[in-house]
Structures are given as structure tokens and as C-alpha cells.
């Protein structure tokens, strides 16, 4: 199996899914700490995805809110 990261905009996202914040999602210093992080979906509301980091990098972030276009989902391809 081969895994690829696909833009999450056109994909179904559910609570509990593991996503990745795009490597270039944010450009500000505060935003850059989210870039490339692995996250788990904890809530979805008004088009935004609420996540908690699961990649053991510091700082650990809980309840971060991201627009779906800044996220990627891991897909299996053959």
C-alpha cells in the first residue's frame, strides 16, 4: 500500500480522523507552530475543524481551530 496526503477540502472528515496541517498553511510566527503537525479531529462546527495535536511535538495543542482548506487527509492508493 502507498499512502498520500490529499487536500481535505473535497473529502469527508469525521470526528476521530487523523489529519495533517499543511506544511505552508500559516505564515505568522504563531501560526507556523501548527504547520506540518499531525492532529486528531475533536469537533466540526460552522465549516471549521477543531483538533488536538497527536505528534508528540511541543507545544501540545488542544482545541485548535483550522479551516478545512489548511488540512490534509491521509489516503491509501495502489
| pLDDT one-digit tens code per residue, 18-63 | 999 999 999 999 999 999 999 999 999 999 999 999 999 999 999 9
Residue 74 C-alpha cell reads as 491521509
Task: Say whether pLDDT at 66 is over 80.
Answer: yes
pTM given for the model: 0.92
Domain 2-77, architecture per CATH: Roll (2.30)
Domain boundaries, the chain: 2-77
Q: 9 to each of 15, 29, 37, 67, how far by Cα in Å?
A: 15, 25, 17, 9
Cis amide bond preceding 61, omega within 30:
no
What pLDDT score does 37 carry? 97
Of the candidates 19, 66, 22, 16, the residue with the CA atom closest to the CA atom of residue 45: 66
Amino acid at each position: 500500500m502507498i499512502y498520500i496526503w490529499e487536500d481535505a477540502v473535497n473529502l469527508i472528515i469525521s470526528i476521530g480522523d487523523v489529519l495533517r496541517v499543511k506544511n505552508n498553511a500559516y505564515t505568522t510566527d504563531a501560526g507556523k507552530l501548527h504547520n506540518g503537525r499531525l492532529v486528531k479531529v475533536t469537533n466540526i462546527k460552522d465549516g471549521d475543524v477543531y483538533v488536538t495535536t497527536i505528534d508528540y511535538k511541543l507545544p501540545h495543542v488542544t482545541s485548535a481551530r483550522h479551516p478545512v482548506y489548511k488540512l490534509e487527509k491521509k489516503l491509501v492508493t495502489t
